[in-house]
Amino acid sequence: EVLFRGWAQSFLVKQVGALAGILLASLLFMGFHLIGAPLSPLAMLNLFLGGILFGLFAWRSGGIIAPFAAHFAWNVTEDVGLGLVPNPGVGGFGAIIDYDLVGRSLWGGSAEGLNASLGTSLVLVALCLPLVWRSKPIGSGAHGQHQPDPAAV
């Protein structure tokens, strides 16, 4: 979050505005995840949408604590809370509950699990919408760049 929201997004928002800055930082976030392994198109979309969600948290709050907390909560819930990474199986940290997603890969029944699930896409869009259309800012926005006009994002 320090790299993508604290540095890249802050810089990009100053250069090209809130909407383009958040989208470009989200593309960088998605691209960074490609370093580890090739991903399905749906997993790439979900990483991009996750980047937008975390970017909106940063933009609305004016800092990186909110996106850091959201990113941390997402990963801990998926990995340690539900045991969904990798799917099937439990990651290196163990899990409180070990769910194995089965069924159609479109809904998470693949090795990529929720990362490549259409359900995850829908949840991420639903989480982003209130942050986009919120009439009053949570904070002054990242480095004073916030414009309260919802059409700007």
Classify the C-alpha dihedral 78-118-112-31 as positive or negative.
negative
pLDDT for res 4: 93
Lowest mean pLDDT: which of 2-6, 27-31, 120-124, 134-138? 134-138
DSSP 74-105: HHHIIIIIT--SSSSS--TT--SS-----S-G
Confidence band of 66 (pLDDT split at 50, 70, 90): very high
pLDDT for res 88: 62
More confident residue, 100 or 56: 56
pLDDT for res 82: 82
- Is residue 43 exposed (0-12), middle (13-18) or buried (19+ Cβ within 10 Å)? buried
pLDDT for res 151: 44
User: Residue 122: CB partners within 8 Å, gap ≥ 6?
Assistant: none
**What pTM did the predictor assign?**
0.80
What tens digit of pLDDT does each residue of 39-53 get? 899 999 999 999 999
pLDDT for res 59: 92
Confidence band of 99 (pLDDT split at 50, 70, 90): confident
Q: d(Cα 37, Cα 29) in Å, to the nearest integer?
A: 14
Residue 141 scores a pLDDT above 60: no
Lowest mean pLDDT: which of 3-12, 15-24, 91-100? 91-100
Distances (CA, A) of 144 to 12, 44, 78, 123, 151: 13, 30, 33, 29, 18
Q: d(Cα 60, Cα 145) in Å, to the nearest integer?
A: 10
Give me the mean pLDDT over the 27-38 stretch.
90
